[in-house]
Amino acid sequence: MSKAKQRLMLFFFILMYVGLAVAGFGVAYYIKVSFFAPTQSTSQSAKQATVTPIPAPKGWKTYTNTDFKLSFSYPPTDAAQTKSYGFGVSSVSMNTTNGNLDFQILFLPKTLASAVGQDFDSYYAMPDKTTKVIKSPLSQDSTTDNFTKIHDRTVNGNQALDYQSIASNAKPGTPAEIGTFIEVGNNLVLISTGRTNKENLEKMLSSFHYQQ
């Protein structure tokens, strides 16, 4: 996993907690009430269709997130490490046996993501092959990350989009990070990995299942 993607992930968390700290307990209460409502709007339900996930390759493990009501398979050589950050935000790092990061997965409420600048709807509306420049607050200079939307898609009936991201100061020939944003009800799932891991990413997405 590149430093560019790590900065982007930290960007989510830093802006989220700064906003919550300033707003205080009132905002925390609003988040709890608004984001975890048991019902979905008609428009959200209309975006989803019942699709049977494709069985994962033999021997793959299954990851289940009970809060988001979803599951998917991942390579048998990976070990999953989960971290919770509160307010419905958590992440999973899937590391290979040699300790290298294979997949990075972020779970967070959709409205909270939008509040910190990660607006799924605006990304979804972007034309294919469009690049959005993202400035990391952790950078000590003018370094930016170039976020490119590849195309819209569905993942087991859920609206999604594929993207790639690379630091503006990356050396020539440096491969971009790739990943997929998935909308699941009132929440978002962001799965990122390296370009050379695209085949396994597609296998993971094929096994993705969200229980409405």
Q: Is the pLDDT of residue 43 over 60?
A: no
| Better pLDDT: 74 or 16 | 74
Closest of 33, 183, 194, 170 to residue 118, by C-alpha: 183
pLDDT tens per residue, range 193-212 = 999 999 999 999 999 999 87
Q: Residue 90's pLDDT is what?
A: 94
**What is the value of pTM for the model shown?**
0.73
The listed range with the strongest mean pLDDT (11-20, 137-146, 180-189) is: 180-189
Mean pLDDT for 180-194 is 95
Q: Is the pLDDT of residue 44 over 50?
A: no
CA distance 131 to 25: 36
Residue 133, CA distances (Å) to 40, 73, 100, 160 in order: 32, 32, 27, 20
pLDDT tens per residue, range 50-100 = 556 567 788 999 999 999 999 999 999 999 999 998 889 999 999 999 999
pLDDT tens per residue, range 95-150 = 999 999 999 999 999 999 888 777 899 999 999 999 988 764 445 566 778 899 99
CA distance 196 to 34: 39
When the pLDDT of each residue in the chain is averaged and rounded to a whole number, the result is: 78
Q: Residue 58's pLDDT is what?
A: 86
Percent of the chain at pLDDT exceeding 90? 53
